[in-house]
Amino acid sequence: MKPNEQIEQVVRTLSNSPNTVVVTGAGISTEAGIPDFRGPNGIYRQLGEDRVMNIINIHTFNQNPALFYDFYRQHFVLPPVEPSKAHYILAEMEKSGFIKGIVTQNIDGLHEKAGSRRVVAVHGNSEQYVCTNRHCRELYGRDKVEPQTSGVPTCEQCGSVLKPDVILFGEPIKHFTDAQDMIMSARTLLVIGSSLTVYPVAGFVKAFSTFYQDLIIINRGPTQLDHAALVKIDRPNTGETLEEIYYYLNRTGK
Ligand code: NAD
Ligand code: ZN
């Protein structure tokens, strides 16, 4: 199938769909300047997945927060960047009623920053830190915590250790039911920038694909569910691809 036919089919599917939900992964933010984990410059390639998992997990955090923070500061603090074209177009698509919302595995907060309203961030938000004392739970912005460049940050209210408000290995995802419901009640699912290897979201997408046909994947490189997709678009520039889709969607109307 030639690219133009693919775009046409995506536009036709989206304009006929009463409920389109978008699932995004690290690949939507690479054009904003945040590397993904599994790409050529990704942290898994550089350090090895095992090493990352051994430190960025909840047990290491609880037992040795100093070790955790040394590693986290060095490798995980995301650069402060602006949303990419793709983030902005998704926000526009929500406003004009073409999509109902976004389930994201990203922790960068860029969908919200671009103006998307209904965003279910299942892995949390690296823009903030949360007090680990369950009777306190005070939240702190990264601008308050990250100037401290060594040691373990603690809560001003109660002195307990602060944790980046993101899901570490060994922790359950946030908003499990919301994410599952949103994906399973969609008629069309548009996956952007995810290799669909990280569970449970990949499992929700897989379950969706066994019930419905209308799975669209825009990803550079292969994903685990390419075989189940109605259309798979693999192009170098996702912002431009979405811009093209949105242009034709507006001409077709809803
Ligand atoms: P992944 O790393 O498994 O997959 C990303 C996919 O996007 C890859 O297949 C890659 O080839 C593709 N890709 C890269 N650039 C692209 C582009 N410009 N356009 C289209 N596709 C592109 O990502 P994942 O499935 O989200 O899982 C990674 C995990 O790491 C998640 O748990 C996520 O929370 C976390 N993570 C988040 C961020 C972020 O918040 N920006 C960044 C890195 C990792
Ligand atoms: Zn506290």
**Pocket-forming residues, ligand 1, beta carbon under 6 Å:** 25-27, 29-31, 34, 36-39, 105-108, 123, 193-195, 197-198, 219-221, 238
Domain assignment present for 165: no
Domain assignment present for 144: no
In the chain, pLDDT over 90 holds for what percent of residues? 86
Please give the structure tokens belonging to residue 153: 């940050």
Q: pLDDT tens digits for 149-171?
A: 999 999 999 999 999 999 999 99
Whole-number pLDDT of residue 155 = 98
CATH value at residue 88: 3.40.50.1220
Number of structural domains (the chain) is 1
Q: pLDDT tens digits for 24-83?
A: 999 999 999 998 987 777 888 888 888 899 999 999 999 999 999 999 999 988 888 999
Residue 254 has pLDDT above 60, yes or no: no
Name the β-bridge partners of 218. Answer: 192, 233
Domain assignment present for 211: yes
Burial of 42 (0-12, 13-18, 19+ CB in 10 A): middle
Query: Which DSSP state fits 168?
Result: P
CA of 84 to the centre of ligand 1 (A): 14
Active site (catalytic) residues: 123
Ligand that comes closest to the CA of residue 135: 2
Domain assignment present for 243: yes
Ligand that comes closest to the CA of residue 131: 2
Q: pLDDT tens digits for 71-129?
A: 999 998 888 899 999 999 999 999 999 999 999 999 999 999 999 999 999 999 999 99
pLDDT band at residue 252 using 50, 70 and 90 as cut-offs: confident
Domain assignment present for 244: yes
Domain assignment present for 106: yes
Q: pLDDT tens digits for 215-251?
A: 999 999 999 999 999 999 999 999 999 999 999 999 8
Q: Given ligand 1 and candidates 34, 36, 103, 119, which is best to mutate, with the most ligand atoms within 8 Å of its CB?
A: 36
CA of 124 to the centre of ligand 2 (A): 19
Domain assignment present for 132: no
Domain span at residue 30 reads: 1-34+83-123+173-254
Whole-number pLDDT of residue 91 = 98
CA of 175 to the centre of ligand 1 (A): 20
Question: CB under 8 Å, gap of 24 or more: what pairs does 112-115 form?
Answer: 113/82, 113/83, 113/87, 114/83, 114/87, 114/88, 114/90, 115/88, 115/91
Strands (E), 146-185: 162-166
